[in-house]
A and B are shown apart, each in its own frame.
Chain A
Amino acid sequence: MTRLRWALADGLTLVGRELGRLRRDPGELVAALLFPAVMVVLFGYVFGSAIGVPGGGDYREYLMPGLFAMVTFSSLMGVLTRTAADASRGVMDRFRSMPMARSAVPFGQTGADVLIGLLMLAVMAGAGLLAGWRPHLGPVATVQAFALMAVLRYALGWAGVYAGLVVRDERVADALVPLALPVTMVSNAFVPTGGMPGWLRLLADWNPVSALTAAARELFGNPGAPGPDAAWPLAHPVAAVLLWSAALLAIFVPLSLRALSL
């Protein structure tokens, strides 16, 4: 019991550490929060002016769930970079030589990341509302949509922890970050997958970014509902996101804890 209490306390201390870092680095915080707003303008107005929505509807209404998904997936690279920095600078070794719970490190990282993620989603929702986006299905469905994003973000954070522990090198981690962009682009987040060549469409349909986007469209009542011939994750997006989250946690929680205890 005391062990669990300490693990929780240590985790909270490390959440406080991440938030303290942001407070000491307001530039980074502003950049992190500006990013979602810039995305709304960039995709909503620049690309949106040339993209049509299948079945009709406003492109910015169609786009917002995709942008929410994009922001959610940014956790993977964020946690990866922070964990790799700790590992390469010896901070991880210091933590591991202390009488604290070793699991506190990933719990703190992923916990803090969810809080940061919710803040980013809030800013993005604000920008979306200004651009004309609306959730149409009432408060319960809206909260469910954001909760679903938080759950997947948390699970992705654990994948980031493990990747960071494997990479163990800040520079490699920084070099990996740009790879996140194509992964989020090969999806239904910005354009319908129907027009993609078959092999790419297969990738895009099974990309978890697509499942989260489709789930958010469904729960917000935004345009872009999947057709009758849609792939399974797009036809059952909420279940698909929950399955993705469970699978990520089942794989990466034990892997990360094992890597930390060695």
Chain B
Amino acid sequence: MADPIVVAEGLRKSFGDVRALRGLDLNVREGTVCGVLGPNGAGKTTAVRVFATLAVPDAGHARVAGHDVVRAAGEVRARIGLAGQRAAVDEKLTGRGNLRMFGRLSHLSRREAHRRADELLDRFGLAEAADRRVAGYSGGLRRRLDLIASLVRRPQVLFLDEPTTGLDPRSRGEIWDAVRELVADGTTVLLTTQYLDEADRLADDVVVVDHGRVIATGTPDELKATIGDRLDVVVDDPADLPRAAAVLTRLAGAEPRATGDDRLSVALPGGLRPAGIVRELDRAGVDAADVRLRRPTLDEVFLRLTDRTEAAR
């Protein structure tokens, strides 16, 4: 297997008393999307800042595209793009003006910078807004400009720090489309997110981070498999809910979670079949409107994983 294009080994970084990274290890395969998931304050942004040469780790090391982020920061900067949580573009310039400026600062010739700006604006559907000042852009448009501003020098690795936080669903979809298109071109993407569905849709690999450490890695499917399938039960009469809960507790060996007035959800150990459960519910006098076995969502995996680290502390 080819060497991973982003490698972190034992990264540590503290800000005063706050230990943001406590020995973070991570690998990203070239040409994939790696989704870094974690609650607020888990250390996601600090990790990205280390990869993007904006912060120097206290211990451990990181390599991006074959170069050490501390010792060869210049080499790393020539190969990466960064789009942060805030739209880091100049409000007082036009969209086109911003892209041209970042092109010149990436050491493209004037002609090349102009050409690249036009190309990006066309490709990502910003041509119409290109000559307006960014101050008048909507949040989604601004974030898209920010994203393409990080593409001016065709990065090998793109770091996206919560690229869709605070955006409406439609704008999120547009950012996702843009990311997919980049990956099709061969760009490697490391994106941090609080949105589990974002990781589910975009990421080839998911890295779950909590308290500055990686607590799980795998494809979304692998992670879901670690906590087993889930059973959702909807009852006809909400009054039956306690009785249904008792049945499920007995069968699944765990207390089910109420997901509504008339529904329950529980992790199911292997070997139990829906038909058997319907029978048991029937015997207890519960009329089930719907009994369904499904894969867990990434949200459920995430809650389970972060609960566990919370309990271990």
Contact = CB atoms under 8 A, between A and B. Distances in A.
Interface stretch (A17-25, A43-51, A177-185): A17-25
A17 B101 contact: yes
Interface residues of B, number: 32
B54 A98 contact: no
B186 interface: no
A21 B90 contact: yes
Interface string B66-95: 000000001001101010111111111110
B53 A97 contact: yes
A96 interface: yes
B107 A17 contact: no
Query: B77, B80, B85 — which one has the most chain A CB atoms within 10 A of its CB?
Result: B77
A99 B78 contact: yes
Contact of A89 (B88, B104, B150): B88
A90 interface: yes
Given A21-B92, A24-B94, A24-B97, A95 B133 contact: no
Q: What is the predominant secondary structure among interface residues of chain A facing chain B?
A: helix
Contacts of A6: 107
A100 B54 CA distance: 13
B215 to A, nearest CB: 27
Contacts of B78: 99
Contact of B92 (A24, A94, A98, A104): A24
A21 B105 contact: no
A90 B87 contact: yes
9 smallest beta-carbon distances between A and B, as pairs: A90-B88, A21-B92, A90-B86, A99-B78, A94-B88, A99-B77, A13-B104, A97-B82, A97-B52
29 contacts: A9-B104, A13-B101, A13-B105, A17-B93, A20-B93, A20-B101, A21-B92, A21-B93, A24-B93, A24-B97, A24-B133, A25-B92, A89-B88, A90-B86, A90-B87, A90-B88, A91-B88, A93-B82, A93-B88, A94-B82, A94-B149, A94-B150, A95-B105, A96-B54, A97-B52, A98-B77, A99-B74, A100-B106, A104-B105
Interface of B: 49, 52-54, 56, 74, 77-78, 80, 82, 84-94, 97, 101-102, 104-107, 133, 149-150, 153
Interface of A: 6, 9-10, 13-14, 16-17, 20-21, 24-25, 89-91, 93-100, 104, 262
Given A90-B86, A93-B52, 13 more contacts: A13-B101, A20-B97, A24-B97, A89-B91, A93-B49, A93-B88, A94-B82, A94-B102, A96-B53, A98-B105, A99-B77, A100-B107, A104-B105
